[in-house]
Structure formats: structure tokens, C-alpha cells
Amino acid sequence: MNVLLDTNVLVSGIFFGGQPRAVLDAWAASRFELLVSPSIFDEYVRVCDRLSTAYRGLEYQSVLATIIGHGHLVPDTPASGPITSDPDDDKFMLCARDHDAVIVSGDRHLLDSSGWEGVRVMRPHDFLACLDNRDAP
């Protein structure tokens, strides 16, 4: 299963834990293929760098290095018009559409856009349940 992690899920998993951390752990256990485009990765880096000033001592560089080393890098798709009510989120929708991927997010703009051109957006909890059902005998 191809998956894109919205920045809020990645950052929450690294800095705060909970369901987003369980999603990262599922990726580490090779339960899904993580896709990332250059613009998505750039956003990951910017947000992690910004949060690291408030949460000193939390190590995030190794997670980002692992994404580059073990994630599947795909090209960015140029936008042809607005998709979500937050243009910064459109890169996730375009990438998911072009690479048959599910987006894991808690972002309302992305969740409200689920279904656009067949793109599925799932909250971390629902995604983990889906993984568990898929792995069941």
C-alpha cells in the first residue's frame, strides 16, 4: 500500500507520539510503502526545524534521513488549479492521485477533500485499523 504522511502526522509522530507515532512504527515495520516528493520533504524539514527550537533535545534528523533512505521518492506534480481550501495541501492530493496512494492526515482541509479524483484521506486511527484488517489472516 502506497502512503503519504501529511506533515502534521509526521511531526506529531516524532515530537508527540500517540497514533501518529504508531503510524511511523508501522512504516518502520514495513507494513506500507512511504512515498515522498521533494516539496513534501521540504515541508517536513521546515516544520521539524521550526519545532525543534521549542522542543530542544528531540532528535528528528534520523527520521528524516530514514525517509530519504527508505521512502520512495516520487516527482512533484505541478498544480493546475485549487484542490483543497488550503493550497499548501494540494501537493499531497496531487501526489496521492498520481501514485495511487492513501494520505494519512488529521488536517481538516485534506480530510474534507477525501474522494477527490479517487484519493482517500484517512485519520491515523482509521489508517491503523485498516492496516490491522489487511494483515489479519
* pLDDT tens per residue across span 10-56: 999 988 899 999 999 999 999 999 999 999 999 999 999 998 888 77
pTM of the model: 0.92
Domains and CATH numbers, the chain: 2-135 (3.40.50.1010)
Distance CA 45, CA 51 (A): 10
pLDDT, tens digit, for every residue of 54-103? Answer: 877 778 888 999 999 999 999 998 878 888 888 899 999 999 999 999 99
- Looking only at the bridges linking them, the beta strands covering 33-36 and 72-73 are parallel
Residue 135 confidence class, pLDDT cut points 50, 70, 90 = low
Q: How far is CA 96 from CA 77, 88, 114, in A?
A: 10, 14, 11
Q: Chain-centre distance of CA 108, in angstroms?
A: 14
DSSP strands (E only) in 53-116: 72-73, 101-104
Cell of 62: 534520523
pLDDT of residue 136: 54
Q: How far is CA 24 from CA 15, 122, 137, in A?
A: 12, 15, 23
Cα dihedral angle (133, 118, 72, 64), rounded to 10 degrees?
A: -80
pLDDT of residue 81: 82
CB atoms within 10 A of CB 62: 9
CA quadruple 73, 26, 19, 51: dihedral sign: negative
